[in-house]
Amino acid sequence: MIYLFFSLTAILAFVTYFARNRNVSHVLVFIYLLTTIGLGFYLAPRVGEQLNEFFFCDAIGMIFYIILVIVSLVSAIHYIEFVKDRNVKPAVQAMHNAGTIFFTGSIVGVLLTSHFGTLWAFTEATTLGATVLIYHNRNSESLEATWKYLFISSIGIALAFAGVLFLGLAGQQVKNVDFTFSTIKHLSDQLNPLWLKACFLLVVTGFSVKMGLIPLFNVDIDAKDVSPSQVGASLSSVLMNAGFVAIYRFYEAFSTTSILPWMNKLLMITGLISLFFAAAYMLKVRNVKRLFAYSSMEHASLVMIAFSCGGLGYFAAILHLIMHSLVKSSLFFQVSQMHRIFNSKIDENIGSYLRINPLGGVVMLLGFLSIIAMPPSGMLISELLMFQTLIAKSYWWIAIIVLLLVLVVIYGLAVRMLGIVFLKKHGGTINLKGASPFESIIQLSLILIVFYIGLFRPEFIVQGINLAIKSLPV
């Protein structure tokens, strides 16, 4: 079944590339997304099962698979309006839609593979898919961002591959080691810790470009800025999740070894430095898309910090990623609408948004409240759990530093976003036809899901996350 899905991905991407009729091109993407939904139904009763030699379905893969389907579907709906508004050439649209199919298929591969080699191959494939999506606008800025993303990402992924090979060197000391997660986890306490440390360091460095963390975050920010908003939404949500899952696979496999405290320290340092950079840049940026891109970096940092604490922190990290994916993609989608109305993404040119586009303004306002973890946003729960874990582990200084940096981030976001929503500062022409209540309602639904999670803490989500972290040390 899974091979059939990947064959269909390749065929549909190929056919879509040559489909120059706008409607046919859109329909092909939706057919593909229906296929992913179908695969989801096939996978749901098989959680915890090995599907074949290279693929399996586990709880964490399934959680982010559901997020992938939701965000991709909403993204495809938004792209229809984007194409109409920008009068995108049929060839460009065909390329973008083919890229969307390839990108989505690659992420499915990252989420479902049970082999470190194929995990690497699918992660590299996401780079190629993302490259096509980032280049959409065909101007000097998109060319610059695409080149930088492709080059830096390729180097990062090459370093991650060196990490996989170090794992192989470690594995050679034990007989009959293959590169499947289960075998490595089973034998990891017999593997040389030095090679495992080298492996994990290179993997975190390499996949940092996918999660938007130090050291390779710059190209990720540029990519989210210049690509169409729906692409920025995907990079900030599903690709970030894929990067997390890739790192999680290595972490889980090595979690029973003596290097666990070292891995936690590495993730904590990565998270703290990334949070510092995100906070510093968020005070400076005027471009709304870059602001949201740095906000994604901030949340990726919080996820890493929470995860590095272990225990409740694991739960907090995954819950935070789920909700961040929904809120951040909504905000990116709304920026597209804002751009249609004001023809700008610089905050100084955008104001009185709540008056000009009331529903869009509500999305921005509720999105802002969600992203800064104000009640009833579900992100409040994950952030509280993170601080609770930090304090329980007696990481007082780290908790204080994180709290201060988060306050800086909230200030940076509040100044820009509240100004956009309430302040009158626009001097240029406004295109009221750019407002789309239909799009805003979809975005609002995503944010309301996060509020629902915050208010009611649905049992299936709690159980799903608990199942995902069951194999990690307490």
Partner 1 sequence: MINFLVIVFIISLIYVSKVEMVKSYFGLLALQGVLLFGLAYYELKAGSVIQLLFILMETLVFKAFFVPLFLRRITKNKIHRHAHGPVKGYYSVLIATLIVVMSFLIGYFLHDELKTNADLQVKYFTAATASIFVGLFIAINNRDLVTHLISYIVIENGIFLLSLALGSDMPMFVNAAILLDIFTSVLVMGVFFNRVKDYFQNLDTTQLSQLKD
Three-state SS sequence of 321-364: HHHHHHHHHHHHHHHHHHHHHHCCCEHHHCCCHHHHCHHHHHHH
Q: Which residues pair with 55 in a beta bridge?
A: 113
Chosen residue from 39, 98, 121, 204 binding partner 1 by CB under 8 A: 121
> What distance in Å separates the CA atoms of residue 126 and residue 146, rounded to the nearest whole number?
13
Element (H, E) at 230: helix 229-234
Alpha carbon 272 to chain centroid, angstroms: 19
Does residue 161 interact with partner 1 by CB under 8 A?
A: yes
Which residue, 145 or 410, is less far from partner 1 as judged by CB? 145
Instruction: Tell me if residue 249 falls in helix, strand or coil.
Output: helix
The residue count for binding partner 1 (CB under 8 A) is 48
Which residue, 59 or 413, is less far from partner 1 as judged by CB? 413
Instruction: Tell me if residue 50 falls in helix, strand or coil.
Output: strand
Cβ neighbours around 78 below 10 Å, total: 24
Chosen residue from 50, 154, 343, 388 binding partner 1 by CB under 8 A: 154
Residues 283-322 that bind partner 1 (CB under 8 A): 284-285, 287, 290
Does residue 150 interact with partner 1 by CB under 8 A?
A: yes
Does residue 173 interact with partner 1 by CB under 8 A?
A: yes
Cβ neighbours around 371 below 10 Å, total: 27
Q: Which stretch binds partner 1 (CB under 8 A): 162-170, 257-265, 306-314, 361-369?
A: 162-170
Chosen residue from 12, 63, 226, 317 binding partner 1 by CB under 8 A: 226
Q: Look up residue 96 and give its amino acid.
A: H
Chosen residue from 7, 21, 172, 190 binding partner 1 by CB under 8 A: 172
Does residue 117 interact with partner 1 by CB under 8 A?
A: yes
Question: Do 127 and 154 form a contact (C-beta atoms < 8 A)?
Answer: yes
Both tokens of 161, joined, read 């591959």
Q: Which stretch binds partner 1 (CB under 8 A): 141-149, 239-247, 417-425, 443-451?
A: 141-149
Instruction: Tell me if residue 459 falls in helix, strand or coil.
Output: helix
| Residue 438 burial class via C-beta count within 10 angstroms: exposed 0-12, middle 13-18, buried 19 and up | exposed
Q: Which stretch binds partner 1 (CB under 8 A): 139-147, 258-266, 351-359, 423-431?
A: 139-147
Instruction: Tell me if residue 280 falls in helix, strand or coil.
Output: helix
Chosen residue from 225, 252, 347, 439 binding partner 1 by CB under 8 A: 225
Chosen residue from 59, 76, 145, 421 binding partner 1 by CB under 8 A: 145
Shortest CB 135 distance to partner 1, Å: 8
Does residue 254 interact with partner 1 by CB under 8 A?
A: no
DSSP letters of 91-157?
HHHHHHHHHHHHHHHHHHHHHHB-BHHHHHHHHHHHHHHHHHHHGGG-SHHHHHHHHHHHHHHHHHH
Does residue 141 interact with partner 1 by CB under 8 A?
A: yes
Both tokens of 412, joined, read 């940076």
Does residue 58 interact with partner 1 by CB under 8 A?
A: no
Shortest CB 32 distance to partner 1, Å: 20
Question: Do 307 and 314 form a contact (C-beta atoms < 8 A)?
Answer: yes
Which residue, 225 or 298, is less far from partner 1 as judged by CB? 225
Chosen residue from 61, 105, 171, 361 binding partner 1 by CB under 8 A: 171
Q: Look up residue 31 and give its amino acid.
A: I
Both tokens of 123, joined, read 């992660």
Does residue 98 interact with partner 1 by CB under 8 A?
A: no
Question: Rule CB under 8 A: which residues touch partner 1?
Answer: 54, 115, 117-118, 120-121, 124-125, 127-128, 131, 135, 140-141, 143-148, 150-151, 154-155, 158-159, 161-162, 165, 168-169, 171-173, 177-179, 192, 194-195, 222, 225-226, 281, 284-285, 287, 290
